Structure 1
Amino acid sequence: MDFGNWTEGVFSTSTSEYESLETPVVPTNKILLTLTLSVLAILTTFFNCLVITAIGVTRKLHHPANYLICSLAVTDLFVAVLVMPFSIMYIQKERWVMGQAVCTIWLSVDITCCTCSILHLAAIAIDRYRAITDAVEYSRKRTGARAGAMVAVVWLLSILISLPPILWRYYSGDAEHEDQCIITHHHITFTLYTTFGAFYIPLLLILILYYKIYRAAQTLYMRREASRASRHSCMTNGSMIPSTYPAGEGAGEIGAQSPEPISPAEKSISEPSTEEPPRVRVSIKASHFKSRRLESRSESRNESRRSQLSQGPRISGARERKAASTLGLIIGAFVICWLPFFVKEVVVNTCSSCSISMEMEAFLTWLGYINSLINPLIYTIFNEDFKKAFQRLIRCSHYL
């Protein structure tokens, strides 16, 4: 081997040979894609941390129903911290460079956390269904221990669903799949087991429960509207009786009021007194003034109640539309994010002649990951307590 000629060839100053020794230039579109995915991962981490912190430091949010929200935020945080960064690196390099051991761990965490996030949505739907259809009985059973048990069951089911495909994963020995990190099986059973357990069964459960929740809320609004209309008709006929208010609406203001403590001025009227006449006259005037003040307060209260009753059907319709839009947003975001991915899983793994590009597969996978960004927004933004807690946290307020 001519060492001099080899050295001259390596250090040649020609343009083409010099450029071949340089580091490959990363395309602009790949840089933009990496930055976009990184921003999504950061936002997912931020919003889920915000939900966890708000529930942890705000006393008003220490409710068993919010424990499921907190556990969902923890699960989505795991997706953002343990799953998304490795996926970004995989997409950026277009091959797996961290070895098969790390690949197996990453796939296990990916499947378990995404399945757990989906099952949390089903658990929240069950909790809300029980709360609206069996409010009195379920309010006694809705404890922190029961919420913790639901969280434990969700995690256990997630592990049972994701573990078999990982254990019986098919390892290809050819060089073509050596730098890939995917799960392949020779049997369709694993695909059906994973997809139905992780998505299709929870999706069916969520659709049924939220439909029943909407119907129950609609029935409740109609009953309240009819009750308001009947009370309004009684009021216009001059036969309004305060005690006819159901508990929680008007009875707490008028019908269930406890008598106010008797003031010294009122005692001077009903009890014998040895005080001088001028002082008695002053007490009589004070008592008369207070009775007139109570009458005026009662009249203003009745006027405000009449206006509320006249607006009852309109408020009820607005609440019904808000409930329908909220449920539609929850179900729509879940279906849009995860349905394309799981349809792809079934088609690709059951059809031997069907295939999909790596770009499309990465897009569908990240569409599912985005659900972990949307969840903390959807499940908290319609709650006024969460809104106030977020505002205080963002303003770094110490009075939570």
Structure 2
Amino acid sequence: METENLLVDYSGTMNFSNCTLESSFSLHSKSITEKMLLALTLGIIMFFTTLLNSAVITAICITKKLHQPANYLICSLAVTDFLVAILVMPLSIMYIIMETWSLGYVICEAWLSLDMTCCTCSILHLCAIALDRYWAITNAIEYARKRTVKRAAVMIMTVWTISIFISVPPLFWRHTNAESNFSQCIIEHDHIVYTIYSTFGAFYIPLTLILILYYRIYHAAKSLYQKRGSSRHLSNRSNDSQNSYTHCKLTQTFCVTDISTSDPTMGFDKMNVNIRIPPFETEMDNACDKNQISSSRERKAARILGLILGAFVVCWMPFFMKELFVGLQILTASPRVSDFLTWLGYTNSLINPLLYTSFNEDFKVAFKRLVKCKDHL
């Protein structure tokens, strides 16, 4: 990822060179006020990213009800985003504010490698979670048996392995002769093949897969809501008694069997079945109510999926478009634009714990318990 003195691209050779005062970067040096405001803003993002992801990790670890394979994927995502917050963001802030690199070759090399690996891993975790949810909703009965801790562990290991294979290649061709005095650590845009390989592997292919999976998840959920609404509508008009009607033609008036014991005005025997035919208008109203409930659930599902996809695309699409175009030498990006797009991508690590837990009641209860525990300390 980039800082103001760092143009981070997955396509190039990691090269370290001396920086002179005549460098174009120095011509646009920030004022003290700009640096303070920038440091404060980026520091707030880093703080809340660390706080929220650590809260998710803690909630899953100490809450037995959350000890489920699907939540282990979310926990692994939180760990990855937590690493972005504590290992990548602080050095990026320092580099942007100081406008020079002063930590040496080894730390610079480690930072760039961690940056690419952790951010790629965070994106691929979103893909793994979408795949897990797709299997769970489209093949619920069979996948319930396959959805084990071992399977979740294999998915997590696969995500990390792919991330490493995407991030490691520059280690084999970048310069190994570190200069004793340098102030920039730059990844050059020299390898077009690697640009395509890395950007597509880290973003474009996962994005395509996520869009397809969530599209199918939404339609599967929509179909499920409609079936549940229809089954409930019919089940309310049947009775466990053998004398009840087992089938009601949808083209005719619905048959309802009721056994009432709560209303004292109803004086018939409990063992008898009262079959009444409700007015057509009432049936239409009930059907409308069921349709409204189903539509409400569909809209809620659409909102949740829209938020997840929207946040992912808004945060990472601009960065990877820039990376691809710069690597293909279609355009050039200024350091400030590169910094902005990089931190826009970083904010996805802040948004992830909110989106993947805020709609889950078990997580809400766990977070409330954490807050109460802190209040008693």
The normalised TM-score by structure 2 is 0.77
The one of 128, 132, 148 aligned to 1:127 = 132
- Residue 251 (structure 2) aligns with: none
Map of 1:62 onto structure 2: 67
* 1:136–1:112 distance in 2 versus 1, CA, 3 Å: same
One-letter amino acid of the structure 1 residue matched with residue 316 of structure 2: W
Q: Displacement of 1:234 after TM fit?
A: 6.3
- Among residues 321, 332, 336, which one is paired with 2:299 in the alignment? 321
- 2: CA distance, partners of 1:25 / 1:79: 25
Cα deviation digits, residues 220-256 of structure 1 (max 9, x gap): 1222233334445669xxx966999xxxxxxxxx9xx
Identity %: 56
Q: 1:231 to 1:81 in 2, by over 3 A?
A: same
Which secondary structure does the structure 2 equivalent of 1:380 belong to? Answer: coil
Output the amino acid matched with 2:227.
R
Match of 2:58 among 53, 60, 79: 53
Alpha-carbon displacement from aligned partner over 1:93-124 (angstroms, at most 9, x marks no partner):
11211112111100000000000000000000
The DSSP-based 3-state class of the residue aligned with 1:396 is helix
Aligned twin of 1:142: 147
Per the alignment, residue 14 of structure 1 pairs with none
Residue type at the aligned position of 1:61? L
Structure 2 residue corresponding to 1:394, chosen from 368, 371, 375: 371
1:207 to 211, 226, 232: 211
2: distance between equivalents of 1:369 and 1:162?
17
Q: Give the corresponding residue for 1:163.
A: 168
Matched, 1:221 2:225: yes
Is 1:333 aligned to residue 338 of structure 2? Answer: no
Corresponding residue number in structure 2 for 1:80: 85
1:95–1:240 distance in 2 versus 1, CA, 3 Å: farther
**1: CA distance between counterparts of 2:174 and 2:328?**
16
Distance 1:338 1:310 in 2: 41
Q: Which runs of 5+ in 2 are unaligned?
A: 1-28, 249-257, 259-263, 275-282
The range that moved more, 334-343 or 186-195, is: 186-195
1:270-289 alignment to 2 at 5 Å? none
Q: Distance in 2 between matches of 1:86 and 1:173?
A: 19
Alignment CA distance shift 1:240-1:84 (3 Å): farther
Structure-2 change in CA distance of 1:25 and 1:139 (3 Å): closer
What letter is aligned with 1:313?
Answer: N
Amino acid at match of 1:367: L
Q: How does 1:1-400 map to 2 (within 5 A)?
A: 27-169=32-174, 178-231=182-235, 311-351=289-329, 354-396=331-373
Q: Is the 8 A contact 2:121 2:159 kept in 1?
A: yes
- Aligned 8 A contact 1:165 1:194 in 2: no
Alpha-carbon offset, residue 67 of structure 1: 0.3
CA shift for structure 1 position 167: 3.0
Amino acid at match of 2:152: A
SS of the equivalent of 2:185 reads coil
State the one-letter code of the partner of 1:318.
S
Quick check: 1:64–1:143 contact (8 Å CA) kept in 2?
Answer: yes
Would you say the 8 A contact 2:113–2:167 is kept in 1? yes
Higher Rg of the two aligned structures: 1
Report the AA paired with residue 186 of structure 1.
Answer: D
SS at match of 1:71: helix
Aligned length: 318
Alpha-carbon offset, residue 76 of structure 1: 0.2
Say which SS state the counterpart of residue 186 (structure 1) adopts: coil
Displacement of 1:397 in angstroms is: 7.4
Normalising by structure 1, what TM-score?
A: 0.73
**Pair 324,172 (structure 1): closer, same or farther in 2 beyond 3 Å:** farther
Q: Could you tell me which amino acid in structure 1 is paired with residue 74 of structure 2?
A: I
Larger relative contact order, structure 1 or 2 (CA cutoff 8 Å, min sep 6): 2
Measured in 2, the distance between the counterparts of 1:197 and 1:45 equals 27
Check the 8 A contact 1:229/1:309 in 2, yes or no. Answer: yes
2:189–2:326 Cα contact (<8 Å) kept: no
Distance 1:333 1:221 in 2: 25
- Paired letter, 1:315: I
